[in-house]
Amino acid sequence: MPNITKPRIAITGPNNSGVTAWLFTALNIRLAGGCPVRVTPNSFDGMFDYDGVIIGGGSDIHPEHYIKEDAPKVKRSFWLKLKECLMYPMELINKVGSSHYDKERDEMEIQFIHYALDNNLPLLGICRGHQLLNAELGGSMYESTLPLLAKEARIRSPFPRKKVLYTTNDSLISKIAGDDPLKVNAIHSQAIAKPAQTLEVTAKEVAGINQVVEAKNSDKVLGVQWHPEYLFYMKAHRKIFNWLIKEARK
C-alpha cells in the first residue's frame, strides 16, 4: 500500500486564546485527511513549510490594517438590545467583555496570506480570516454589523441560525458545498464591505451581509464569514475542509 503523506495545514490563531476554535478546526482537517499545525505569533519561527493555510477567527482586526467603509447611523432600542442578549448569550458576553486588538497576530497572518497566494497554495479564511484576506488585498470593511442590521437582532451563535444565498452562478463555494442555500452560524462583529479588486462576493445572507469571497482567477482562495469548523456534523461544511486538503495534495 503506497505511503501517502498527509498535507500539512497551517492554522493561525492568537497566543492566549482560541483553543476551542483550534481543536475543532484541527478535527476537521484530520477528518479530511490532513495534518493540522497550530501557528501563533509566539510559536511562529518565520519558516513557511506548509501545503495549505487557514487564517482563523478571533478578535477584531486592528483599524490600521483595513479601509473603513462608512455606514449609516441607526438608533437601536433598548428592547432590541435586550432581545439580542436574551436570545443569544454570546452577544451579552461580547457586550460586557473588553474589546481588544491583536496587531502581532494581524502582521503574522498577513505574511501567511501572501505566502499562500505567492505559492499558489489553498487558502481558507474563516470569519476574521475572511475579513483580513479581503482587507489585505485592498477591500473595505464595516467596523460593525449593527448599522447594516438596523432594527433586526444580531445573531451570535455557534449553531446554524442563518441562511446564506449564492449571488453568482458557478461559484467555488457552490462547487464545494452544493447548490442548496447554506445554513450557517455567526460569531462576528465586523463584516466585509467592498471586495478587493482580485476577489468577488459570491454569497450573502438575507440581511445583505457578505458571507463569501473568492478569487476571481483561482479555485484555491476562499473566505467564509461563518465558522464551518463548529458545523462538522453538517456535510456541506465538512466539504470545505475536504476541498482544502484536496487542493493541498496537488
Enumerate the domain spans of the chain. 8-249
- Please count the other Cβ atoms lying within 10 Å of the Cβ belonging to residue 22: 20
- Quick one: fold of 8-249? Rossmann fold (3.40.50)
Cell of 145: 454589523
pLDDT in tens, the chain (250 residues): 444 689 999 999 999 888 999 999 999 999 999 999 999 999 999 999 999 999 999 989 999 999 999 987 888 777 777 777 777 777 766 665 555 789 999 999 999 999 999 999 999 999 999 999 999 999 999 998 888 887 888 888 899 999 999 999 899 999 999 989 999 999 988 999 999 999 999 999 988 899 999 999 999 999 999 999 999 999 999 999 999 999 999 8
Contacting residues for 100 by C-beta, under 8 A, at least 6 apart: 59
Question: Crossing angle of helices 103-118/128-136, nearest 10°?
Answer: 70
Pairing relation of β-strands 157-166 and 123-126?
Answer: unpaired
Q: Report pTM.
A: 0.93
Q: Which residues pair with 199 in a beta bridge?
A: 215
